[in-house]
């Protein structure tokens, strides 16, 4: 949440070039944005609006905000400045002891202009610099601040950017004649494939042609430059109206690429992954949102092979997980930066569990915390809604389950997805019938239960319709009271699941408008597979297309739904 960028260059860059970089991080938050280059300061609410001014600079910091402390106002937009305007900062994270610091700074005469926790950072440095050097102040900051931060700081009279990190992601992109600091590699992956990833409690002083890294005691450290692979062309929207539909349409391609990688570049990691699972006494997944639904499918598939596994929602992991050194914790995550997952993994590390992961963004924090990590290889997913990354997460879990005896021919998965996508017009018609409804229920049993939850989540976040994804069998224990004449109920019925069919009948008898998504019987949508594993993936794709078309009918901001951000880096 929140994206930050720092640019420092030999040659001048235009305001437009700087903002184009910020645009690449807009998916991290789009409540407000800002820019500072030692001469001008821009702070505005709303989506990033590239200024028309013909201004050039050699240094700048930028920010795109997902609001936590303080409402969505121009004042609360970053960058924030000290009273004397000598220090300007952008921040991603949460300063937990900000109130205490703020009270103290106010007593010392500082005047605050915003309601944010972040503004204390600028005043903190202003105060420290009265008695200490900037480097000493960075050391104090790391030792005195409670909470999470990726901070970029410019001191007006200096031609350098100070960068400090704990828990919020921060990376330095090594580019020709310039250095770029950013929340993630997307900001510069079009011009460089080399980066240095900050670890916790490190800071750096970055100049146009030089950089120095320090630990929390101010001791200089040598950092390794990492080469990363990224398919940049995929992040362009091209002919599509929205990233969401572009990313759904890429699903067959990314599935093929992923499966190919298991025979080639990911073969050895895949084998290690399986070995570690086999050796462990207990298998526990951890994930959030859509990734949690994928992990629940993983649990189902393993259970079908007689392998005991569980999954826990990351934000509750600490409260419900019993783990020891013989437990393997498998993190499933698109971004690799979800704070709830990182927090759960830290807990698992303390208990000495082994950590492995399934991650889309290479070199992300979770990937770096893992003993082995499998790349989801979905390419950059720009739309806030996870679509192709979910499909590839499930594909990985199917491939793993297959190693334990799950019956599936994965070679036909991509063609089946293509057939599913061809039903778009049919799905569009269903969307046109129900997009004005206030509530939608999605029912599943067994493998289709996680899918029901995933479809409901997509409907909520993208179409803004209240939806509940439920176990078909649980409905009669209460929720059925809400079914009225015409209430849309989507029933996911795999392989003539008679219990699921009965649940569909029960709501139909009460006047619900039942939409059957089924394979072995005549449904409103026919899922082109007889395999349970593939049914899960294909039924979820039905949900993605349905949601997309309902949101189109409702004229909603599909790629950037309100209040959300792609990468959830706060607890």
Which residues are the active-site residues?
2, 566
Distances in whole angstroms, Cα of residue 465 to Cα of each of 147, 457, 517, 550: 35, 10, 19, 9
Whether 60 and 36 have beta carbons less than 8 Å apart is answered as: yes
Closest separation in Å from C-beta 497 to ligand M6R: 26
Q: Toward ligand M6R, which CB reaches closer, 342 or 504?
A: 342
Q: What is the closest distance, in whole angstroms, from the C-beta atom of residue 332 to ligand M6R in the complex?
A: 7
**Gap between the Cα atoms of 238 and 59, Å rounded:** 31
Please name which of 297, 395, 314 lies closest in space to residue 348, comparing C-alpha atoms. Answer: 314
Q: SS3 for 63-105, per residue?
A: EEECCCCCCCCCCCCCCEECCCCCEEEEEEEEECCHHHHHHHH
Please, which residue, 26 or 461, has the CB nearer to ligand M6R?
461
Nearer to ligand M6R, 89 or 568 (CB): 568
What one-character DSSP code corresponds to residue 199? P
In total, the chain counts a number of residues equal to 571
Cα separation, 173 vs 550, in Å, equals 40
Beta carbon nearer to ligand M6R, 366 or 527: 366
User: Least distance in Å: CB of 569 to ligand M6R?
Assistant: 10
Nearest residue by C-beta to ligand M6R?
289
Please tell me the distance from the alpha carbon of residue 73 to that of residue 43, in angstroms, as a whole number.
Answer: 9
| Nearer of residues 443 and 558 to ligand M6R, judged by Cβ | 558
Minimum CB distance to ligand M6R, residue 226 (Å) = 20
| Contact present, 161 and 153 (Cβ < 8 Å) | yes
Spatial neighbors of 265 by CB under 8 A, at least 6 apart, are none
CB of 239 to ligand M6R, least distance (A): 23
Nearest to 533 by CA among 245, 255, 254: 255
Nearest distance, CB of residue 159 and ligand M6R, angstroms: 36
Residues that bind ligand M6R (CB under 6 A): 288-291, 333-335, 338, 341, 384-386, 461, 564, 568
The two tokens of residue 458 are 């997509």
Kindly tell me which of 393 and 423 has the beta carbon lying closer to ligand M6R: 393
Minimum distance from CB of 397 to ligand M6R (Å)? Answer: 14
Is beta strand 32-36 parallel, antiparallel or unpaired with respect to 87-95? unpaired
Placement of tokens 């990688």 in the chain: 261
Q: Shortest distance, CB of residue 177 to ligand M6R, whole angstroms?
A: 33
- Residues with Cβ within 8 Å of 473's Cβ and at least 6 positions away in sequence, in order, are 445, 499, 503
**Number of helices and strands in the chain (H, E):** 17, 25
Supply the minimum distance, in Å, between the C-beta of residue 313 and ligand M6R: 10
Distance CA 385, CA 559 (A): 7
Q: What is the DSSP letter of 129?
A: T
CB 60 within 8 A of CB 87: no
Helix, coil or strand: residue 517: strand
Place of tokens 């690799």: 336
The dihedrals phi and psi of 107, each to the nearest 5 degrees, come to -60, -30
Q: How far apart are CA 468 and CA 283, in angstroms?
A: 28
Rg of the chain over Cα atoms, rounded to whole angstroms, equals 25
Nearer Cβ to ligand M6R (386/398): 386
């Amino acid at each position: 949440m929140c994206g930050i960028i720092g640019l420092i260059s030999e040659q001048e860059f235009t305001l437009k070039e700087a903002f184009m970089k910020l645009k690449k991080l807009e998916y991290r938050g789009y409540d407000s944005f800002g820019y500072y280059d030692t001469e001008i300061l821009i702070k505005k609410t709303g989506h990033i609006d590239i200024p028309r001014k013909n201004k050039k600079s050699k240094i700048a910091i930028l920010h795109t905000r997902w609001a936590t402390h303080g409402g969505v106002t121009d004042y609360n937009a970053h960058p924030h400045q000290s009273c004397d305007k000598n220090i300007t900062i952008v921040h991603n994270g949460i300063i937990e002891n900000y109130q205490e610091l703020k009270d103290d700074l106010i007593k010392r005469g500082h005047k605050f202009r915003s309601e944010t926790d972040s503004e204390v950072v600028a005043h903190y440095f202003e105060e420290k610099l009265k008695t200490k050097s900037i480097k000493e102040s960075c050391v104090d900051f790391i030792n005195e601040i409670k909470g999470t931060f990726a901070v970029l700081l410019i001191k007006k009279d200096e031609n350098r950017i100070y960068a400090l990190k704990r828990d919020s992601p921060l990376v330095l992109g090594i580019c020709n004649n310039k250095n770029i600091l950013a929340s993630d590699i997307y900001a510069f992956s079009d011009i460089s494939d080399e980066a240095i990833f900050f670890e916790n409690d490190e800071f750096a002083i970055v100049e146009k042609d030089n950089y120095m890294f320090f630990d929390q005691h101010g001791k200089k450290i040598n950092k390794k430059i990492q080469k990363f692979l990224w398919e940049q062309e995929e992040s362009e929207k091209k002919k599509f109206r929205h990233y969401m539909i572009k990313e759904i349409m890429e699903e067959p391609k990314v599935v093929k690429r992923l499966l190919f990688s298991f025979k080639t570049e990911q073969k050895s990691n895949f084998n290690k992954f399986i070995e570690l699972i086999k050796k462990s006494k207990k298998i526990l997944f951890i994930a959030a949102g859509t990734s949690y639904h994928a992990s629940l499918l993983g649990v189902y598939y393993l259970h079908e092979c007689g392998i005991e596994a569980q999954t826990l929602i990351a934000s509750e992991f600490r409260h419900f997980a019993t783990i020891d050194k013989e437990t393997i914790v498998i993190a499933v995550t698109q971004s690799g930066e979800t704070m709830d997952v990182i927090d759960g993994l830290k807990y698992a590390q303390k208990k000495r569990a082994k950590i492995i992961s399934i991650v889309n963004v290479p070199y992300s924090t979770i990937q770096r915390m893992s003993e082995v990590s499998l790349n989801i290889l979905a390419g950059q997913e720009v739309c806030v809604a996870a679509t192709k990354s979910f499909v590839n997460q499930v594909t990985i879990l199917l491939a793993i389950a297959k190693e334990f005896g799950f019956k599936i021919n994965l070679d036909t998965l991509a063609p089946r997805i293509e057939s599913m996508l061809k039903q778009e017009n049919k799905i569009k018609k269903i969307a046109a019938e129900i997009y004005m409804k206030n509530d939608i229920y999605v029912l599943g049993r067994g493998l289709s239960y996680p899918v029901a939850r995933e479809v409901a989540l997509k409907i909520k976040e993208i179409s803004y319709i209240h939806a509940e994804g439920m176990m078909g069998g649980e409905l009669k224990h209460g929720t059925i009271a809400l079914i009225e004449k015409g209430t849309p109920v989507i029933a996911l019925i795999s392989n003539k699941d008679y219990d699921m069919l009965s649940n569909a009948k029960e709501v139909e008898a009460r006047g619900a408008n039942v939409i059957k998504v089924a394979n072995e019987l005549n449904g409103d949508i026919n899922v082109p597979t007889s395999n349970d594993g593939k049914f899960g993936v294909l039924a979820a794709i039905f949900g993605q297309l349905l949601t997309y078309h309902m949101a189109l009918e409702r004229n909603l901001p599909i790629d950037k739904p309100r209040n959300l951000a792609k990468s959830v880096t706060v607890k």
